[in-house]
Structure 1
Amino acid sequence: MSPADLVSYLIGWNELVLKWLDQDDKGQDVDFPETGFKWNELGQLAQKFYKDYDDVGYHELLDRLKKAKENLVETITARSDNELYGGPWYDKWTKGRMIQFNTSSPYANARGRIRKWLKTQT
């Protein structure tokens, strides 16, 4: 796995969470985690993210990740605590917890993988 793959993975998750929020804002049903994938198929979803951004240059990937992160912060900041944590959104999980699970966990995963990759580079 390359650093570009990890950035693609983070972009994929950030943009997916933004998609969920956009669909919800429009009153549309959200197909968690993604159309065609189940929660036990997240490895396959990660492979999709790698492929989605395979032809994008590394610097452009970094720009896209920065933009996705900024959009997430903006949309979360615009929401009330009640909207984020006032009741279940998916199963027993609030919107805020779903955002947290599906943004911070991929970053933690990527950090571990980067550390492992860096050890192979020395």
Structure 2
Amino acid sequence: MKPATAAKKLGVYLEATPEEFQAGVVSRDELNELQANPPEWLRDLRRNGPHPKQLIAQKLGISSSGLVRAGLTDALTTDQINAIKDENPDWLVKERATFKEFKAEEARLAEKARTEEDD
């Protein structure tokens, strides 16, 4: 598979991976080995970042769209994410509320669909 696909499956930011990872092709066996026995570079990336957008959003409790609305388009380190959490800016409070409402509506619609299936 392409390095970008493998990086996504590993939950890491491709541009922060070693050059040989970025330049190569990753087999399923290699991916499984990386997941089962992550090398130091992978453990370090997972621990400290920089992290990809979807993981940043997850760590902040908001959507990826919320990151864009806040102007956060670059990868962030764990320390940068923690600083944002500690600061708890108004945009983060708003985006968390928006995301919570979205998830609640999504759950309501899923429950409605299940109820309609049962009828």
TM-score range, shorter chain: 0.3 to 0.5
Choose between structure 1 and 2 for higher RCO, CA contacts under 8 A separated by at least 6 residues: 1
Larger radius of gyration: 2
Q: TM-score, normalised by structure 2?
A: 0.35
